[in-house]
Amino acid sequence: MVGAVKLLAVLGGVLAVPHLCRISSFVWLYFLRPSSLRRYLHGPSPYALITGATDGIGKALARELLRNGFNLILHGRNETKMKKVVEELRKSVPDKPDADIRYFIADASQAGHDFTQMIETFKDLHITLVYHNVGGSDTSPERLDERTEDYLYAMLHKNTLFALFLNRVLLPHLRRSAKSGPVLVQFMGSLAGDVAPPRLSIYAASKGFLESLSHGLDNDELFFDGPTGVRYAYLVAGPVQTGPMGENFRTPSCETFAKAVMARTGCGGRRVVPYAVHAVLLWFMGNVLGDAAVDRFSAEEIRSLIEQAKKGE
């Protein structure tokens, strides 16, 4: 009898090990680990490049990076709005008057850009951080067969191909920056990429594309003729307060989310959930709720977002 109890105790201990490891890495990542952001402040004048930087998460990332001593290369689609954002950033971070803020304008949902030409004016700058942030989807009730081909191409360009082609032309320049210190390229992902809710299948698939792309490119730079010093990470974002949804514990403001991204930048993970509550949510969905409940719950969320969007029209 005593032997059986001992055996069960040992078995319990062994089974608890993965959970204890998971809890300790959670506590380390979100509460104890100092930020590595400063490691990317190398070279005479380091730059961070952020796409989709005139609003939402991208604009908040730009502000945090400026505050932390980076020069900025911002991307947007509307030059008038971009100029206002640059002014706003300068005002909100008055202690960095010498920081260089540049921008480039391109509609990410359009095909046919000359990407080499696009980066011509800033390709020789010392870029150490890249945030491929531009992306998103509308929440409307149409199914795939009710969408036009043009709409689908525009979605795919904005959410995948723009980042792919921009990254392609940037890479040789990033490898050059990596000669004096680490360089990190991050793709903004979404919880939707894991859950694939109804009516968001193209958007979800595009995030799946970015996750695999990021993983594969990291392998390229690390294990094949490398390491080159350029690393990649895929960031998983849950809901962030940009649209109609209100801010709450689960839905942080863009500023709170951007601070979380800064805190996790360079943590070494290839798939990083920057905001702790989103990490708990993902764990809960995967380990407690199960697929069927998550699918039903996400369908209800999308239904209510579509209703809200309709009311806002």
Ligand X SMILES: NC(=O)c1ccc[n+]([C@@H]2O[C@H](COP(=O)([O-])OP(=O)(O)OC[C@H]3O[C@@H](n4cnc5c(N)ncnc54)[C@H](OP(=O)(O)O)[C@@H]3O)[C@@H](O)[C@H]2O)c1
Q: Which residues bind ligand X (CB under 6 A)?
A: 52-58, 76-78, 81, 107-109, 133-136, 158, 188, 190, 237, 239-240, 242
**Between residues 176 and 270, which has the closer beta carbon with respect to ligand X?**
270
The most distant pair of C-alpha atoms in the chain lies apart, rounded to whole Å, by 78
Minimum Å gap between C-beta 279 and ligand X is 14
Instruction: Give the chain's length.
Output: 313
Residue 195's nearest CA partner among 293, 91, 311, 92 is 293
* CA–CA gap between residue 67 and residue 184 (Å, rounded): 18
Minimum Å gap between C-beta 105 and ligand X is 8
Run of H or E including 267: none
Minimum Å gap between C-beta 76 and ligand X is 5
Minimum Å gap between C-beta 107 and ligand X is 5
Helices (H), the chain: 2-27, 56-67, 79-92, 115-118, 149-156, 162-177, 191-195, 201-223, 254-264, 276-284, 291-312
**Between residues 68 and 241, which has the closer beta carbon with respect to ligand X?**
241
**Between residues 61 and 263, which has the closer beta carbon with respect to ligand X?**
61
* CA–CA gap between residue 196 and residue 35 (Å, rounded): 31
Count Cβ neighbours within 10 Å for each residue of 276-286 and write b for 16 or more, e otherwise.
bbbbebbeebe
CA distances from residue 96 to 16, 68, 84, 92 in whole angstroms, order as listed: 49, 9, 17, 10
Sign of CA dihedral 66, 188, 56, 75: positive
**Between residues 46 and 52, which has the closer beta carbon with respect to ligand X?**
52
Sign of CA dihedral 77, 78, 81, 86: positive
Which amino acid appears at position 245 of this protein?
A: M
Minimum Å gap between C-beta 229 and ligand X is 26
- Give the SS3 label for residue 271: strand
Minimum Å gap between C-beta 120 and ligand X is 18
Residue nearest to ligand X (CB): 56
Minimum Å gap between C-beta 175 and ligand X is 25
**Between residues 177 and 206, which has the closer beta carbon with respect to ligand X?**
206
**Between residues 158 and 259, which has the closer beta carbon with respect to ligand X?**
158
Tokens of 58: 């991208």
**Between residues 177 and 186, which has the closer beta carbon with respect to ligand X?**
186
Minimum Å gap between C-beta 192 and ligand X is 7
**Between residues 76 and 229, which has the closer beta carbon with respect to ligand X?**
76
Tokens of 4: 């059986």
